[in-house]
């Protein structure tokens, strides 16, 4: 029986790139197939061959130029073209929601594999240990935000390289029930059970605690906070522009 897409996916253009348990990151597939050094080498050789045939008088200069281009393409390190993007978010922060849905997801959809994205959902809050060694977290926008933070952290833990669609879907929703209904419905029953179990137990709270530590260690004071290749980005212009400054693939 074919699953129908929930309304939320249609409205925001989100697709669950996390539907099956990943064998290989979709971004890595994109780079390895479309942007490999061998592909670039062959394409450049093809262009050079056409250039030599069409403009025989410029053959000596063209031969030198093509030789240089072929050398560069043959040794171009593809991994250095990926851009590290770190986002500190809160699940019910409206500015975080706009950034994820309108910029990060849209960029990922058009240029899969360019971003090495790390999302850290927690925000302004704190976690404490109780006497019975349980962790209890308090979040800026209340208990519901902590619930959604847990679900996002569980998704990141369960799909370490393919969570962007799920995290974006959860972002900005009203509560866990809505997130389960709108964002988990296309996953297998087993995966849904594991994510719900994580989000509703101490497993998810421990993940919230780890995100809190990362947030505090980074000294984050405003949300969302973004770093591109380790440098703070003030978001004074679109994220796409900033990311594309660090790579030739967009």
- Domain spans of the chain, in order of start: 32-79, 83-244
The bridge status of strand 83-89 relative to strand 125-129 is: unpaired
| Residue range 198-241, pLDDT digits in tens | 999 999 999 999 999 999 999 999 999 999 999 999 999 999 99
| Displacement of CA 180 from its chain's centroid (Å) | 20
H-helix or E-strand containing 135? strand 135-139
Omega within 30 of 0 (cis) for the link into 224 = yes
Contact yes or no for 211/119 (Cβ under 8 A): no
Tell me phi and psi for residue 170, to 5 degrees: -70, -35
Over residues 145-158, the pLDDT tens digits come to 999 999 999 999 99
Q: What percent of the chain has pLDDT over 70?
A: 68
Mean pLDDT score of the chain = 81
For 45-59, 144-158, 177-191, 198-212, which range has the lowest pLDDT when averaged over its residues? Answer: 45-59
Average pLDDT over residues 89-103: 97
Instruction: Look at 176 and 45; give whichever has higher pLDDT.
Output: 176
On the question of pLDDT at 116 being above 80, the answer is yes
Among 90, 40, 50, which Cα is nearest to 222's? 90
Of 16-20, 76-80, 242-246, give the lowest mean pLDDT range: 16-20
- Taking each helix axis from N to C end, the angle separating 143-158 and 189-199, rounded to the nearest 10 degrees, works out to 130
Region 83-244: CATH code: 3.40.30.10
Residue 249: the pLDDT is 87
pLDDT at 250: 85
C-alpha separations of 212 from 91, 121, 215 in Å: 13, 8, 5
């Amino acid at each position: 029986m074919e699953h129908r897409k929930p309304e939320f996916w249609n409205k925001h253009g989100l697709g669950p790139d996390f539907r099956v348990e990943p064998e290989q990151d979709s971004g890595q597939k994109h780079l390895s197939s479309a942007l490999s050094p061998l592909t670039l080498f062959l394409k450049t050789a093809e262009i050079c061959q056409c250039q030599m045939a069409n403009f025989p008088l410029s053959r000596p200069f063209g031969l030198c130029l093509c030789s240089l281009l072929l050398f560069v393409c043959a040794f171009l390190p593809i991994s250095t073209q990926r851009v590290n993007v770190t986002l500190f978010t809160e699940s019910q922060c409206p500015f975080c929601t706009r950034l994820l849905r309108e910029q990060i997801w849209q960029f990922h959809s058009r240029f899969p594999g360019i971003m090495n994205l790390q999302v850290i959902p927690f925000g302004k809050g704190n976690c404490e240990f109780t006497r019975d060694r349980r962790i209890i977290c308090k979040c800026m926008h209340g208990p519901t935000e902590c619930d959604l933070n847990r679900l996002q952290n569980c998704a990141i833990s369960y799909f370490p390289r393919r969570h962007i669609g799920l995290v974006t879907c959860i972002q900005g929703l009203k509560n866990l029930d809505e997130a389960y209904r709108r964002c988990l419905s296309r996953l297998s029953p087993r995966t849904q059970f594991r994510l719900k179990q994580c989000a509703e137990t101490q497993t998810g709270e421990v993940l919230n605690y780890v995100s809190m530590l990362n947030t505090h260690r980074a000294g984050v004071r405003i949300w969302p906070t973004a770093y591109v290749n380790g440098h703070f980005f003030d978001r004074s212009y679109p994220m796409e522009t900033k990311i594309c400054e660090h790579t030739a693939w967009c």
